[in-house]
Amino acid sequence: MTNNNAIATTKMNTGAPPLMAKLSLFPVSKPNASYIERTNGRETVRITPSRPEEWVYGKTPRLIFLYVQSMIRMKNNPDVDQDTHTVVFRGSFQEFCDNTGISNHSGCQKETEDTLMNLARTSISIMNTDENRENKGECTPFTVARKGRTQFRPEQDIIASIQFTDEMWAELSKPSVPLSMDVISRLGKSARALDVYIWLTYRTYRLDHVAYVSWRQLYDQFEGTGLPMKDFRRRFKQALSNVLEAAPNLRAEPFRHGIKYYPRTDAPTRQTAQSESADIPLEAEVVDESKGPARHVHSADCEHVRTLMSEWMGGMFTGVDADRVASRLAELLDSGLPDEGAVSRVLLG
């Protein structure tokens, strides 16, 4: 069912920061863990609540971040202080719901205010790994906010606001891929469907070729709570189906080893320069963000590629080059090459 509170946001200019688009930043449901980790390529993100009972999960924190992103993107917004990294949520709680798309029901205000507080106190750690997925000793830990006032009491001159840390503000301010608030509204309460919509929009923005991503890569990017792979695949497929119904400009389909996705029917032209728009993260054009465009990359390490190819054929593809090699291999198989030997000769040649 469409959330009527979200209708007012359909004309809002919003987008997801790359950190939120590359992987699922928040859990879909409350985890039974002290932290969760998600990985995309050489980047691993760890999310830790201030206390185990203060997890932020579901669709609400996602909608809040998208709204904050839209506020930051708006030029000369009086409710955004770029110097102190503060956003102010003026007006009533109902107005906040109208702006974010949060459904205002009985008990919702207390739940949302608690979510805002817990979100402000959440810690994020971004870790970089080498080609073998070993920690390089590079880690950027930070909390989401430096200060927060999370109650909506304008009649008492209590105005909700969040002052973000420098690190979080830097992530929120990065170029983003535009999203449709109309599509977000049509996805209803499903946090997983929202994650898939953001991810697929990011992946296909300016894409001009068919691309593939393995189930293992998707699991690393979206899971972290211990959900069995079989259940994850089933739920991801259902979420993808919901997204494709709500956003007909996106095209993707599951296959045995993962997801195959296509250029968008409304894909922007590639001639637009990066400097002309704040909505063009270069990572959106590639399959493995750490490697560059898959169609232009050839590994000099033939033995490494041969090993990865063997893993892919066995359905156990897990290396950091997974998306890149999987895309290349699947393209070759689709083109009708007769056997693995022919695939190997083309890949390694």
For the stretch 260-274, what's the b/e string if a residue is b when 16 or more beta carbons lie within 10 angstroms of its beta carbon?
A: bbbbbeeeeeeeeee
Angstrom distance (rounded) from CA 244 to CA 187:
10
As a whole number, mean pLDDT of residues 200-220 equals: 93
pTM for this one?
0.76
| Domain residue extents for the chain | 4-183, 286-349
226-230: long-range contacts (C-beta < 8 A, 24 or more apart)? 226/33
As a whole number, mean pLDDT of residues 89-106 equals: 92
- Flag whether pLDDT at 346 surpasses 80: no
Q: Pick left, alpha or beta for residue 137 (phi over 0 → left; psi -120 to 50 → alpha; otherwise beta).
A: left
Beta-bridge mates of residue 142: 124
Report whether 1 contacts 188 (CB < 8 A).
yes
Angstrom distance (rounded) from CA 123 to CA 9:
29
pLDDT digits (tens, 9 = 90+) for 141-173: 999 999 999 999 988 889 999 999 999 999 999
pLDDT digits (tens, 9 = 90+) for 239-262: 999 999 999 999 999 998 999 999
Structure tokens at 309: 């190819």
323 — pLDDT class (breaks 50, 70, 90): low
Nearest alpha-carbon partner for 269 in 258, 260, 277, 261:
277
Report whether 217 contacts 322 (CB < 8 A).
yes
10 — pLDDT class (breaks 50, 70, 90): very low
Per-residue DSSP letter, 317: -
Per-residue DSSP letter, 148: E
Angstrom distance (rounded) from CA 148 to CA 157:
15
Name the one residue in this structure whose structure tokens are 């691993």.
Answer: 44
DSSP per residue, 27-50: -SS--SSS-EEEEETTEEEEEE-S
Environment class of 18 (CB within 10 Å of its CB; exposed 0-12, middle 13-18, buried 19+)? buried
pLDDT digits (tens, 9 = 90+) for 261-279: 999 988 665 544 443 344 4
The 3-state secondary structure of 262-316 reads CCCCCCCCCCCCHHHCCCCCHHHHCCECCCECHHHCCCCCHHHHHHHHHHHHCCC
Angstrom distance (rounded) from CA 95 to CA 253:
38
Give the CA dihedral 334, 336, 339, 341, nearest 10 degrees.
-80
Report whether 159 contacts 88 (CB < 8 A).
yes
